């Protein structure tokens, strides 16, 4: 899930077309652009919008309808070679035509049925291929669906890696783990961006009741159970606190989290809002006091970056890679994720000057600008291959 700054509008191809022919033709391929997909969909879409004039580009998604996707309402412009889905009319034929016409192919994902055939086809056509695995190859993720991943690696994984010119990661930790596992791969880090704002939107003063916020796809690794138990710890200590959880996910997990809230007597203090659009998420950033991200693993953590861009103080685990290199009193990186430790961090933040925290968070968000990320991608596309 992702929020877009108030002042930012999607203008990508409404600009006047460049006078000269585009110097580079780029095609991105992603599994889905569904608004509920979270990171990979949002990353591909925002990267598409961030590349400068002079790049002719296309974007194709392999699953899902245009309706309820990030591409709903999109109209192709003068520097776009198209945004379409494989299931749309002539989608597959259009994909192979686009592969033939492009210079660089960017594949989003790894353990997917289509990644290997697309990469092999592009390689046969002598195209430059960059693949961003979106955390699929981290040590943490290797602990899930182990048998299926072993079969993938034994059958087509080697062929996929041999076809890709360069792997591109969202964080330095993901880069290091990938190089450790596959020492011969060419791996580089481009990072992930978020739409920036011209000013922070978080409140400059603390609310009477501490408002905690989580915005993400609801999955086991997000550890929302710890966030709920932290509310219980605050209440037990006499603090008035509420937790708002925005996002969709596994029905069984959501049901168990709601049950946990009831068991702890927090049914009136923990609110599940479901999927929220950009405007709704922006309003949540305005009304929250602290953003929580006690995740087991985040190869980036786009919602944490968006929260900082809004000016929100944040409490997060050290597994949230978006916070790598970010320091300041507005961010608490948890050494212990025990609910009592999260509650203590919230109490400490509340003892600080709120306006100072907001200013610090907003200033730190400059590093997440999409133009900076897009420039790194362009450098990687044009850099010579340097396999280790």
Do 237 and 111 share a structural domain?
no
Whether residue 258 is predicted with pLDDT greater than 80 in this model: the reply is yes
Confidence of residue 386 (pLDDT cuts 50, 70, 90): low
The domain total for the chain is 2
Q: What is the pLDDT of residues 180-197, one digit of tens each?
A: 999 999 999 999 899 899
List the CATH number of the domain containing 144.
Answer: 3.40.50.2000
Q: In terms of domains, do 373 and 337 share one?
A: no
pLDDT surpasses 50 at 8:
no
Q: What is the pLDDT of residues 327-367, one digit of tens each?
A: 999 999 999 999 999 999 999 999 999 999 999 999 999 98
- Check residue 54 and give its pLDDT: 82
Predicted confidence band of residue 388 (pLDDT cuts 50, 70, 90):
very low
Look up the domain containing 374 and give its range: 24-195+369-382
pLDDT at position 31 is 97
Q: Express each pLDDT in 32-76 by its tens digit.
A: 999 877 789 989 999 999 998 888 999 999 999 998 899 998 988
12 confidence band (pLDDT: 50, 70, 90): very low
> What HEC string does the chain produce?
CCCCCCCCCCCCCCCCCCCCCCCEEEEEEEEECECCCCHHHHHHHHHHHHCCCCEEEEEEEEECCCCCECCCCCCCCCCEEEEEECCCCCHHHHHHHHHHHCCEEEEECCCCCCHHHHHHHHHHCCCEEEEECCCCCCCCHHHCCHHHHHHHHHHHHHHHHHHCCEEEECCHHHHHHHHHHCCCCCEEECCCCCCCCCCCCCCCCCCCCEEEEEECCECHHHCHHHHHHHHHHHHHCCCCEEEEEECCECHHHHHHHHHHHHHCCCCCCEEEEECCCHHHHHHHHHHCCEEEECCCCECCCHHHHHHHHHCCCEEEECCEHHHCCCCCCCEEEECCCCHHHHHHHHHHHHCCCHHHHHHHHHHHHHHHCHHHHHHHHHHHHHCCCCCC
Q: What percent of the chain has pLDDT over 70?
A: 93
Whether residue 377 is found in the same domain as residue 336: no
- Inform me whether the pLDDT recorded for 233 exceeds 50: yes
Q: Is there a domain that residue 200 lies in?
A: no
Output 4 or 60, whichever has higher pLDDT. Answer: 60
The per-residue pLDDT for 385 is: 66
Q: Is residue 1 part of a domain?
A: no
């Amino acid at each position: 899930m992702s929020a877009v700054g108030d002042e930012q509008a999607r203008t990508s191809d409404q600009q006047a077309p460049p006078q000269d022919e585009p110097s580079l033709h780029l095609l991105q391929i992603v599994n889905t652009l569904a608004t509920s997909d979270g990171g990979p969909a949002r990353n591909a879409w925002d990267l598409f919008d961030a590349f400068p004039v002079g790049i002719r580009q296309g974007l194709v998604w392999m699953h899902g309808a245009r309706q309820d996707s990030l591409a709903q309402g999109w109209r192709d412009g003068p520097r776009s070679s198209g945004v379409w889905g494989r299931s749309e009319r002539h989608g597959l034929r259009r994909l192979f035509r686009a592969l033939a016409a492009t210079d660089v192919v960017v594949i989003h994902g790894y353990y997917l049925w289509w990644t290997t055939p697309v990469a092999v086809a592009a390689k046969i056509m002598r195209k430059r291929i960059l693949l961003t695995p979106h955390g699929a190859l981290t040590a943490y993720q290797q602990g899930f669906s182990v048998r299926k991943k072993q079969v993938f690696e034994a059958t087509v994984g080697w062929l996929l890696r041999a076809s890709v010119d360069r792997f591109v990661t969202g964080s330095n930790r993901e880069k290091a783990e990938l190089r450790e596992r596959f020492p011969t791969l060419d791996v580089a880090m481009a990072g992930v961006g978020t739409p920036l704002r011209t000013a922070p939107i978080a409140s400059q003063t603390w609310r009477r009741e501490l408002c905690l916020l989580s915005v993400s796809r609801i999955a086991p690794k997000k550890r929302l159970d710890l966030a709920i138990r932290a509310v219980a710890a605050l209440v037990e200590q006499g603090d008035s606190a509420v937790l708002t959880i925005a996002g969709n996910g596994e029905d069984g997990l959501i049901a168990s989290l709601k049950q946990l809230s009831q068991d702890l007597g927090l049914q009136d203090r923990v609110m599940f809002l479901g999927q929220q659009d950009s405007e709704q998420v922006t309003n949540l950033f305005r009304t929250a006091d602290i953003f929580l991200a006690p995740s087991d693993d985040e190869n980036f953590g786009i919602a944490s970056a968006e929260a900082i861009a809004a000016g929100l103080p944040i409490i997060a685990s050290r597994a949230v890679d978006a916070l790598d290199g970010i320091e300041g009193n507005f961010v608490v990186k948890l050494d212990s994720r025990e609910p009592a430790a999260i509650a203590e961090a919230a109490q400490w933040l509340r003892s600080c000057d709120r306006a100072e925290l907001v200013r610090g968070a907003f200033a730190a968000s400059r590093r997440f600008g999409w133009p900076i990320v897009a420039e790194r991608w362009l450098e990687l596309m044009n850099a010579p291959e340097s396999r280790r």
